[in-house]
Every structure is written in structure tokens, then in C-alpha cells.
A and B are shown apart, each in its own frame.
Chain A
Amino acid sequence: MGCKSTNISLALKVVLLTLLALLFISPFTLVLLNAVKTQGEVIINPFSFPQKIQWANFPKAWNWISLGKSLVNTSVVTFFSSVLLVYFAAKVSYWCTRHSTRFSRIFETLLVSSVLIPFSSIMLPVVKLLSMLKLTGTLWGGVTAYTGMGMAFSYFVMRGSAKSIPKEIEDAAMVDGCSPYGIFYRIILPLMVPTAVSVFILEVFWVWNDYNISIILLNTKFTKTIQVTIHALFAQTYSKWDIALPALVMSMLPIMAANIVLQKKIFAGMTAGAIKG
């Protein structure tokens, strides 16, 4: 009897969760459904199935906003920022946890307390400094800003991994005559790879999705990112849904696919970030 009642409650739970999950993704479903309809069909009934699937909406939207260009821009900025963030975070977390000096402790404290700093608080001077370095309006300006802004969080997550590496390994290498650089590249870095991969993925998602920094530093014709492009598209074509919706779908697809493939790594990275070192 007891077993039966748990079965029923489990079935009930699954049904409830399924309904809730469907409700949760229904906005995406509706957008996807309407992305392959004509403008008229969208307006008349957004809940109907398309009479004929309008695949042509996608290339039309792609060309309308030159999505290819913004995809390339976003990829470049995202890739370089994330790689640099992981590399620097690995270096800083190793050095600060293992060879703390007064200098490194000051830096660590400043870095950690800046983890929540909002970009809006400092954007005006950042723009000024980057323009002095002739970096505004270039993708590298974006990479610089993302790397600087993301350092604290990346360090936060990497620190745990650096602390967990047994000191004996390092001591042994040192006795064998390995330089600190050799120790870092040959021993520490390989041991940090699992965490580094998680951090990398988290940063990729952050940079790819960010609007705050990109609207200020990358809002030019040549450096437009996806988020900036989508925003401009919706601001211009107020209700041209047969362009706006397919563009929206195309901007979401890469990140959704990555989400499905990398789910485990993403969750691992997020949990590591929450527990801290």
C-alpha cells in the first residue's frame, strides 16, 4: 500500500513538473512557431500552425541585420576574453594562494571586493581610458574590458582549485630544480584544467550574453555584437515580426545548443563558484 501511494505521488510530481517545464519553455516555443510564419499570419493568430513553413524568413533576417558579421564579432570577443580570463585567473590564483606576499595580498583583497562592481559605475572613465589607448571602437577594447571586469569572478572560482593542489607536488618539483614558471606550466596548470574548463564555459556565456559592456564599447558598425544587433533590430523594425523573430531564433540557437551539450560542465562551474575556495 505504501509503495502504491509513493508511486501515485511520484506520477503526480512528474506530471506537475512536466506541465511547469512546458510553461517555462513556452515563450521559446511560441517565438519558434512564429519565426516560420508570414507577418500576416503572426498578426492574425500567433497560436496557429504555419500554413506553409517560411524557411526564407531566416536568410532574409540574416541579411537584414548582417548577422554573420555580428556572430563573428561576438565569437572573437567571447573567445579571446574567456581564454585570457581563464589564463590570468589560473596565474593569479596559483600565485596568491601559494606565494602570498604583502603585494599579492593587497591585490587579492582589492580583486575580491570588486567582484560585484557594476560596470555602470565605472563605464565613463573606462571609455575615456580606452579611447586614450585608441582601443574604443575595436574588438580589442571589448576584450580588454571583459577581461578586466571578469577577473574577480574567475579568480573566485579558480581559487578553490588552486588551494586543493597538494603542496608536496610543488615542493618535489622545486627540489628537482624546476623553476616557478616550469612548475606552473607543467604541473599546476594541467591540474587546474577541469576547473579551468568550467570557468571558460561560464565566461563564454557571460560575454556572449552581455549587453551592458557591449552597448557602450562595441556599438559601432564594425564591432556590433549579437546583443547590440538584436537590440538595434527591435528598436528599428518595431513590429516586423517575420524579420525580428527569425533573427531572435538565430541569436538563441548557438547558446541553446551549447547549453545542451555542455550542461554538466556549466553546472559544475556554477557550483564551484558558489562554494568558493
Chain B
Amino acid sequence: MTRLITDEWAESPEVSLSMNRSSEENMGAKKQNYLPDLFFLGIPVLLFLLIVLVPLLMSVFYSLTDWDGISQRFDFVGLQNYAKILSGKTTFMDSFFFTASMSIVSTVFTVIIGILLASALVGKIPGKSLFRLAFFLPNTLGGVVLGYVWRFILLVGFPSAGTRVSLGIFQIPWLGMPWSAFISIATVSIWQGVGYVMIIMIAALVGVPEDLTESAILDGASSARILFGIKLPVCMPYITVCIFWTLAQTFKMFDLNVSLTNGGPYGSTVSMALQIYRDAFTSNRYSLANAEGVVFFLILFAITILQLTLSRKREARYGV
């Protein structure tokens, strides 16, 4: 039995190619042997088709119709749904601007704070792993749970503190006004994201070769200068990863919105994911929700492409 499979194995395209490069007969053998392909890729390909690729194509298809998701028939309406979204007749553009600004604000702070924490936690610090654990803890919990923890803090803790000490910070309705709700969500998102950046950057900073910093230390450069002048530039590939990871995570924000503000006040904190969810399940605008989904996908796809291009460019230039 083993023997048999081995024979088939020897005929698989790569092996046969290297064994018998010139033989034309291999073209025939190549066709027959899909068994290993099927074994290794079969179910993953099926799952990928079922959950990712076919749904994506279906999304595009439905986005070109006026289907409400229930009725028997529907008509093609071309790009009407997209025109509706982009012309600002729906609230999707509002959710886009909210999501984009939320994403940028929280990415900037998350990455900066994460890098600073990482640089503070590299080297000889007593209780290092305890510190790492504390800063990383919010990152391991789900957005719903974190959101409700903060809901309690902001709705019960802060007002109660406000009656004791007259500090302005405790008297603001942190979930009650558009600008304060924005800050609240951003804060929780930064609090959640910092741990990831910290862990990646610790690994990056530890990996910086010592001979790079040696001469600078001998020259008496301050540790801040060494960090910003030598270490961080060397760690740029990791910083790029952190930036794009955080950007993508915050662009997809859904659970924090739902649990902290549920989109309020006055719909000012509805993220794109929440907007699509509502259009699909609350307002029954099925085809519109599909079009929004496609736009959402294109934005994240653009982010992926941007990241890939940036890291390719760097690879070409520095070989990293």
C-alpha cells in the first residue's frame, strides 16, 4: 500500500519534473495525480469558498440589485446602491468618517504608547513579567466585556467620584455627548490595543543587534537618543506591522461600539461594521447593506495592499 502511494507520489508534478525533466509523458501523469492536493487542500479550499470567496462574490451580486432579502423576485439596479451610499443620502458616510477618525486617533496613540511601554520594559527591570501581564491584560479580553467594564466605570464610578471631588473630568457625561463618547471609545480602544504593540515591540527591540548600539553607548549618547536614533529605525518593519494591525482592528470596530454607546448619542459613534449590521438586520435594507459591505471590504483591501507595497519597497531597499 505504501509502495503504491509512493509511486503516485513520484509522479506528482514537482518530483517528476526534477526526476525527468525532458520527458513529455509527464504531462499525462501530471493530470492524474490530484490525490495529495485533495488531501492537503481539499477541505480548506471548500471552507474558504463557502465562508469567504463565494459570499464575497454574492455580496457584490446582491449589491447590484434591489433585493430586500425576503421577496421572491428582484431587479438589477446597477450601481444605484453605491450611488446612494456615496452621495450621503444614507448615514454610511457618517459612519465612515467616524470610523476613519477613530481608527487614526486610536492607532496613533496605541502605537506610541505601546512603543514607549516596550522600551521601558526591555532590559533589567524588576517585576518585568508582571508589568507585561498588566499592560497586556485588556488585549486578551473581548470588546463586549471591556466595553461593559468601562460602561460601569463611566456611568457609576465617575459620577460617584464627581460628587466627592470637584474635578472637571468626573463631571463630564462621558458617554452622553458626541465628542466625549468619541474620546471614551478611543480610550478603551487604546487601552485594549496597547498590549499587542508592546509585545511585538519588545520582541523587536530585544532583537536589535548589540553592536549597533555599542559605539553610541561608548560615545555617551543618552538612552533616549539611542532609542529614537538607532533602535526604532532598525525596528521599522515591526512598527509598520503594529500600525497596520491596529489600523485594521480599529477599522473593524464593532463590539466596543455596541457595548459602550450602541452608536449613540444621536448616532454619532456608529462604526461601519455597526452601520452594516443595522441596515441588514434592523432596517432590512438587504442590498444596500451588501453594497456597504463591499465598500467596507474595499477599504480594508486597500489597507492590505498599502501594507504589502510598503513592506515590499522596504525589502527591496534594505533587504529586511
| Complex interface: chain B residues within 8 A of A53 (CB) | none
Q: Taking the complex as formed, is B142 at the interface, i.e. its CB lies under 8 A from any CB of chain A?
A: yes
B248 near A116: Cβ-Cβ < 8 Å: yes
A208 near B142: Cβ-Cβ < 8 Å: yes
A113 near B120: Cβ-Cβ < 8 Å: no
Report the separation of the CA atoms of residues A245 and B2 in the bound assembly, to the nearest whole angstrom.
Answer: 59
Contact with A along B165-200 (1 / 0, CB 8 A): 000000000000000000000000001000010011
| Complex interface: chain B residues within 8 A of A210 (CB) | 142
Report the separation of the CA atoms of residues A255 and B248 in the bound assembly, to the nearest whole angstrom.
Answer: 24
Q: Taking the complex as formed, is A244 at the interface, i.e. its CB lies under 8 A from any CB of chain B?
A: yes
A126 near B134: Cβ-Cβ < 8 Å: no
Q: Taking the complex as formed, is A111 at the interface, i.e. its CB lies under 8 A from any CB of chain B?
A: yes
Report the separation of the CA atoms of residues A174 and B8 in the bound assembly, to the nearest whole angstrom.
Answer: 12
> Chain B's nearest CB lies how many Å from the CB of A41?
11
Report the separation of the CA atoms of residues A248 and B144 in the bound assembly, to the nearest whole angstrom.
Answer: 10
Report the separation of the CA atoms of residues A27 and B155 in the bound assembly, to the nearest whole angstrom.
Answer: 13
| Complex interface: chain B residues within 8 A of A95 (CB) | 36-37, 40-41
Contact with A along B36-48 (1 / 0, CB 8 A): 1101110111011
Q: Which residue of A lies closest to B124 (CB)?
A: A10
Contact with A along B266-302 (1 / 0, CB 8 A): 0000001100110010000010011001101100110
Q: Taking the complex as formed, is A80 at the interface, i.e. its CB lies under 8 A from any CB of chain B?
A: no
A151 near B48: Cβ-Cβ < 8 Å: yes
Report the separation of the CA atoms of residues A45 and B159 in the bound assembly, to the nearest whole angstrom.
Answer: 10
Report the separation of the CA atoms of residues A277 and B138 in the bound assembly, to the nearest whole angstrom.
Answer: 28
Contact with B along A198-233 (1 / 0, CB 8 A): 000000010011111000100000000001001100
Q: Taking the complex as formed, is A256 at the interface, i.e. its CB lies under 8 A from any CB of chain B?
A: yes
Q: Taking the complex as formed, is B233 at the interface, i.e. its CB lies under 8 A from any CB of chain A?
A: no
B52 near A120: Cβ-Cβ < 8 Å: no
A123 near B200: Cβ-Cβ < 8 Å: no
| Complex interface: chain B residues within 8 A of A178 (CB) | 2, 6
Known: A14-B126, A92-B40, A114-B52. A24 touches B137 (CB 8 A): yes
Known: A24-B138, A151-B44. A120 touches B37 (CB 8 A): no
A179 near B6: Cβ-Cβ < 8 Å: yes
Residue in A25, A145, A179 whose CB lies within 8 Å of B5: A179
Interface centre among A34, A126, A144, A274, by most B CB within 10 Å? A274
Q: Taking the complex as formed, is A122 at the interface, i.e. its CB lies under 8 A from any CB of chain B?
A: yes
Q: Taking the complex as formed, is B58 at the interface, i.e. its CB lies under 8 A from any CB of chain A?
A: yes
Binding site secondary structure of chain B: helix
Give chain B's interface residue range (CB within 8 Å of chain A): 35 or more
**B positions within 8 Å CB-CB of A:** 2-3, 5-6, 9, 12-15, 36-37, 39-41, 43-45, 47-48, 50-56, 58-59, 62, 69, 120-121, 124-127, 129-138, 140-145, 148-153, 155-157, 160-161, 191, 196, 199-200, 202-203, 238, 241-242, 245, 248, 251-252, 254-255, 258-259, 272-273, 276-277, 280, 286, 289-290, 293-294, 296-297, 300-301, 303-304
Instruction: Add 5 more A-B contacts to A24-B137, A88-B44, A122-B293 (CB < 8 A).
Output: A113-B301, A121-B294, A124-B280, A227-B145, A263-B132
**A positions within 8 Å CB-CB of B:** 10, 13-14, 17-18, 20-22, 24-25, 27-28, 30-31, 34, 42-43, 45-47, 88, 91-92, 94-96, 99-101, 103-104, 107, 110-111, 113-118, 120-126, 128-129, 144-145, 147-149, 151-152, 174, 177-182, 184, 205, 208-212, 216, 227, 230-231, 234, 239, 241, 244-245, 248, 251-252, 255-256, 258-260, 263, 266-267, 270-271, 274
